Structure 1
Amino acid sequence: MTIDAKTVEEYISKVPEDRKEAISRLRQTVKENLPKGFEECISYKMIGYVVPHSIYAPGYHCDPKLPLPFLNIASQKNFVALYHAGIYADKKLHDWFVAEYPEHAKTKLDMGKSCIRFKKMDDIPYGLIAKLCQKITVEDWVALYEKNVKR
């Protein structure tokens, strides 16, 4: 499910009613817990948090005109998704999240490489998402990105 929006507020207004609260609460959790420097925007037709060109001038290697992506929130066809590039790029962070998840959620973890899927809006572990957001600073992300991409 793709939502065409120019602003985060417009994106949320177009989310199905039964997901608006969860998306809004995820957004608030991310905004309150991401370290300074990340910028909120619409990125890849999702709510995105990126490293702006003012901090990382080279931008995203796939398209240098775009800022360096880090985290996205999306309402997909059958679930709400949190895409966290740090989980994909850092095995230690991935392993921490996978180990912590059962302590914070009633449901089994449904996860891809960077995508955490939530099918039941009442089961989103906001406290764990808050801790995840606090784990990587902009500087950490740029260093990890460069280490993994610019070999």
Structure 2
Amino acid sequence: MVYYQKMTPEGYQKIKNEIAELKKDRPRRIKILQEARALGDLSENTEYTEAKRDLGHLQSRVRYLEKQLKYADVVDKTADGKVDLGKTVTLKFDDDDETEKYKVVGRMEADIADGKVAFDSPLGQAIMKKEVNTTVSVMAPAGEYHVTIMAID
């Protein structure tokens, strides 16, 4: 069974950009490896070992990101008035009356510090497909809390 990873068009593009940057850096890392190899005895050559490790990490990251793109399910925003992937929601946290904005994104894009919440996180699951003025319970690891959807952009 193939598992497709939901993501926004912006998240897909961000991964493509990272792959391009890594591929652009690859020749520089290969040159460093070649220069380190030319220093001689490979068994005691820390420069060679580090350069080989760094190049391996770069290539591994590229493979990982390319696999993410291969299995990406890019979801465009809908205009149905409900919380969905790619939309920005304003939420009022009922326990402290504060409001915060979050963009609902795929798991790979999630970054709560940057205002991006994964659609399959406890908060994301609670608000998905809900409309403005809906209050939902969020079952989080730290306990249950309630949020009200104030706006959907």
TM-score in same-fold range (> 0.5): no
For the superposition of Structure 1 and Structure 2, which TM-score range results when normalised by the shorter chain? under 0.3
Which of the two has higher C-alpha Rg? 2
